[in-house]
Amino acid sequence: MPVVSQRSQSVPLSPFRKLIPLADRARAAGKHIYHLNIGQPDIETHPTAVAKFRKLPWQILDYSPSNGIDTYREALRDYYARFDVAVTADEIMITTGGSEAILFFLLACLDPGDEIIIPEPFYANYNGFAHMAGVNVVPITCSIEDGFRLPDPAEFARKITPRTRAIVITNPNNPTGACYSRTALQGLAEIVREHDLYLCADEVYREFSYDTELQSILQLPDLDEHAIIIDSVSKRYSATGARVGALVTRNLTVRESVDRYAKLRLSPPGLGQRLSEIMLQDDGAYLAEVKEDYTARRDTVFQRLQAMPGVYSYKPGGAFLLLRPVSYLR
């Protein structure tokens, strides 16, 4: 019998998906399941946009351009301007969810055996994508005692080797909810400029920064050739199934390299892009309500944890996650 590849057998399992069969069996046995294994919002997908989407006239669901529908990329340009991020539509590459954007970044910017430095705890699927690209993840540990803030730039510098090609962060962080200050990001910017590295920021939780305004790496000066943003509509509009993400960079060479992979897979999801474009048209009230809801949930969970004897927690500044590591039970 033919054998499958060693690569397919050694790739890390998604920690989010491997629990699904267990949950399905438990549900079939009549148990109620609370899914804490995956970030699936229970908030309704933008209702007004969905209603408009259902009325769209179309006869043929054709391929979209490999870098995304022009009008959607132009709408995203205006969306980023709300956050004081100035980009052109050509600097936005539409992808099949944020997942494909991560993989495209790794394939376009790193070779097998190269290294990326990532503050931990980090989004667990980075391990799987790095394995697929033959890239080594070098973690740098953050601490719950200081709210999982970024380590000092000197600590990042000590992790750099001749194979280091990038520093990767998630801001606001998944799974800690930490939001990184402009000062902290400027420290990373100095490191990547000094060592000629990429700085890739996964900003999919951009709207959910509760106590301070989000600081994007594309707001930092003198970083145009280094900065790459990963984005997605999944959490923003509670539209995880749309599978529409983006890779945003002012670096033309990176965009040209990403476009080689984008053309090979032909096009990102057409229906998802059309829905996403409609959601951008009138999202102010919707996003404000969602943020208010998540803020109240964060405060409630934090207060309840703080009231539990022997439990140590912290108040996350963003996203919709909160860690309570067992090792920190007192």
The closest of 303, 304, 296 to 320, measured between CA atoms, is 296
Which three-class secondary structure state does DSSP give residue 226? Answer: coil
Mean confidence (pLDDT) of the chain: 91
Q: Is residue 7 part of a domain?
A: no
CA 69, CA 141: separation in Å to the nearest integer? 39
Q: Is residue 143 part of a domain?
A: yes
Q: Is residue 25 part of a domain?
A: no
**14-18, 112-116, 217-221, 289-293: range with lowest mean pLDDT:** 14-18
pLDDT band at 193 (very low <50, low <70, confident <90, very high): very high
The closest of 195, 200, 187, 131 to 163, measured between CA atoms, is 195
Angle at 130 between CA 124 and CA 136, to 5 degrees: 105
Tens-place pLDDT, residues 5-16: 888 888 877 766
Q: Is residue 10 part of a domain?
A: no
Residue 29 DSSP symbol: T
Q: Is residue 293 part of a domain?
A: no
Q: Compute CA 326 distance to the chain's CA centroid, rounded to the nearest angstrom.
A: 25
Range of the structural domain that residue 110 is part of: 48-281
Task: Give bridge partners of residue 168 from the DSSP assignment.
Answer: 200
The closest of 88, 151, 90, 87 to 120, measured between CA atoms, is 151
pLDDT band at 32 (very low <50, low <70, confident <90, very high): confident
The CA-based diameter of the chain, rounded to the nearest angstrom, is 62
Q: Is residue 75 part of a domain?
A: yes
> Which tokens in the block code for residue 2?
């033919």
State the CATH number of the domain containing residue 94. Answer: 3.40.640.10
User: pLDDT at residue 329 above 60?
Assistant: no
User: What domain count does the chain have?
Assistant: 1
Indicate the pairing of strand 227-232 with strand 198-202: parallel
User: pLDDT at residue 17 above 70?
Assistant: no
**38-42, 68-72, 77-81, 274-278: range with lowest mean pLDDT:** 38-42
Q: Do 259 and 102 form a contact (C-beta atoms < 8 A)?
A: no
Mean pLDDT of the 132-148 span = 94
CA neighbours closer than 13 Å in the CB half-sphere of residue 81: 10
State the Rg of the chain over Cα: 20
Q: Is residue 19 part of a domain?
A: no
CA 38, CA 325: separation in Å to the nearest integer? 17
Q: Is residue 132 part of a domain?
A: yes
